[in-house]
């Protein structure tokens, strides 16, 4: 018995009653066949519906050897008529995104002649076109797509007869000859598609192109539609509001405010680097010549400054100058310099004693250490 495809007749059926005509156990649960179904099986780039048949949860629907198979978490009695309910929130979001994709693809095809050669409906919608578009062109496409919503363009789904199909110009990734389902968006698109769609563009609400990248000689476009687009906007709006507050700027002026902040930050970094160099020179000049090791402990000095400090310090000692930045809890980064000791030969001994790792040249070692300050001081006092 062939299952009647209710989803093909009406995409907005949320609940229905159907008879179980077969139920088979598989390794992950049960395969249920109904006499009719509004559950959409995966196809056309759109995932399968989920929901319930009686008390059984349906986590997937596939067409296998011509049968519409509902994958259930429990067995159902053959011959029993049960209430079936689709996860409508999930279905409607997918319809919004898929229907929005048709509008965008139709507009790109009409304006530029590019084909949609790939479509995926996941966390966002991705469309692959076989030609490149600029950001300005995509902004125009987005405006036109949302105009379709304002005009409430109608969606119709039908199976034209063979003669009509021959004379019909429509988008399709495959060479189709029979049982071709044509989805038409009034004034915007004609495309072969087996998936469920909205009744009219107004149900989509909004179409927002998020980003694009060059892909295999063409372009990959990321977009969101409907509720998903609204949630994305809400998240980004909250982020924008927070950034505007931090920058003490109006929300529509955050880009300029951030540019000023970035310029000021860069200038301060240059100034700070100059001050650090001067400080390193002052610290080095304050060191007295000695025949002992010089050990320097800093709370938070970056490796570049630490290297400069110990290289200057190495000029003041007959042994070595070792600089450590960090603390006993988190460990230390270190730089060690010497003019008289071959540090490459001592590298393994030093890193092992400091419970650390590192390497370098005969005149400079650098790395990290897990030893405490007291253990470090003791090691250098006893061994150098």
Q: What is the pLDDT of residues 178-219, one digit of tens each?
A: 789 999 999 999 999 999 999 999 999 999 999 999 988 899
Q: What is the structure's pLDDT at 177?
A: 66
Q: Whose CA is closest to 98, among 241, 211, 198? A: 198
Q: Is the pLDDT of residue 160 over 80?
A: yes
Token pair 């008879």: residue = 19
For residues 283 and 273, what is the distance between their CA atoms, to the nearest angstrom? Answer: 15
Q: Are 39 and 51 in contact (CB under 8 A)?
A: yes
Q: What is the structure's pLDDT at 288?
A: 83
For 6-24, the pLDDT digits (tens) are 999 999 999 999 999 999 9
**Domains along the chain with CATH numbers:** 4-86 (2.40.30.130), 92-234 (3.30.980.10), 287-383 (3.10.310.40)
Structure tokens at 135: 């950001």
For 301-355, the pLDDT digits (tens) are 888 888 988 998 898 898 999 999 999 999 999 999 999 999 988 899 999 999 9
For 61-86, the pLDDT digits (tens) are 999 999 999 999 999 999 999 999 99
What b/e sequence results for 185-222 when a residue is b if at least 16 CB atoms lie within 10 Å of its CB, and e otherwise?
Answer: beebbbbbbbbbbbbbbebbbbbbbeebeebeebbbbe
For 29-66, the pLDDT digits (tens) are 999 999 999 999 998 889 999 999 999 999 999 999 99
- Average the pLDDT over 272-289 and give the result: 79
Question: What percentage of the chain exceeds 90 in pLDDT?
Answer: 69
What φ, ψ does residue 324 adopt, rounded to 5°?
Answer: -130, 130
End-to-end CA distance of the chain: 90
Range 131-139 contact pairs with CB under 8 angstroms and sequence separation of 24 or more: 131/218, 131/219, 132/214, 132/218, 132/219, 133/108, 133/212, 133/219, 133/221, 135/212, 137/111, 137/112, 138/209, 138/212, 138/221, 139/209
Alpha carbon of 293 to those of 79, 282, 288, 296, 316: distances in Å? 90, 19, 11, 10, 10
Structure tokens at 336: 């060690």
- Average the pLDDT over 245-271 and give the result: 90
């Amino acid at each position: 018995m062939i299952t009647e495809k209710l989803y093909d007749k009406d995409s907005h059926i949320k609940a229905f009653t159907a008879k179980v005509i077969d139920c088979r156990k598989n390794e992950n649960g049960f395969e249920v066949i109904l006499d009719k179904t509004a559950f959409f099986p995966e196809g056309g780039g759109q995932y399968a519906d989920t929901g319930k048949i009686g008390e059984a949860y349906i986590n997937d629907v596939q067409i296998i050897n011509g049968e519409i198979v509902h994958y259930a978490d429990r067995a159902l009695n053959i011959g029993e008529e049960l209430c079936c309910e689709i996860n409508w929130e999930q279905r409607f979001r997918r319809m919004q995104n898929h229907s929005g994709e048709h509008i965008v693809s139709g507009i790109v095809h009409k304006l530029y002649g590019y084909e949609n050669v790939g479509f995926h409906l996941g966390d966002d919608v991705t469309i692959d076109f076989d030609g490149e578009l600029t950001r300005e062109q995509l902004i125009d496409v987005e405006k036109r797509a949302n105009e379709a919503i304002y005009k409430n363009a109608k969606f119709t789904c039908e199976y034209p007869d063979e003669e009509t199909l021959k004379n019909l110009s429509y988008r399709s990734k495959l060479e189709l000859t029979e049982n071709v389902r044509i989805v038409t968006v009034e004034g915007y698109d004609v495309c072969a598609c087996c998936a469920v769609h909205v009744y009219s563009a107004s149900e989509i609400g909004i179409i927002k192109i998020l980003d694009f990248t060059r892909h295999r000689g063409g372009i990959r476009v990321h977009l969101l539609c409907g509720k998903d687009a609204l949630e994305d906007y809400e998240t980004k709006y909250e982020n924008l509001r927070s950034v505007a507050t931090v920058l003490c700027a109006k929300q529509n002026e955050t880009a300029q405010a951030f540019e000023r902040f970035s310029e000021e930050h860069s200038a301060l970094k240059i100034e700070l680097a100059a001050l650090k160099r001067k400080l390193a020179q002052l610290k080095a000049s304050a060191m007295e010549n000695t025949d002992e090791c010089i050990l320097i402990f800093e709370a938070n000095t970056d490796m570049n400054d630490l290297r400069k400090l110990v290289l200057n310090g190495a000029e003041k000692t007959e042994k070595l100058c070792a600089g450590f930045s960090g603390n006993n809890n988190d460990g230390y980064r270190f730089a060690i310099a010497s003019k008289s000791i071959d540090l490459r030969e001592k590298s393994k001994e030093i890193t092992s004693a400091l419970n650390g790792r590192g390497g370098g040249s005969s005149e400079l070692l650098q790395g990290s250490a897990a030893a405490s300050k007291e253990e470090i001081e003791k090691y250098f006092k006893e061994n150098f």
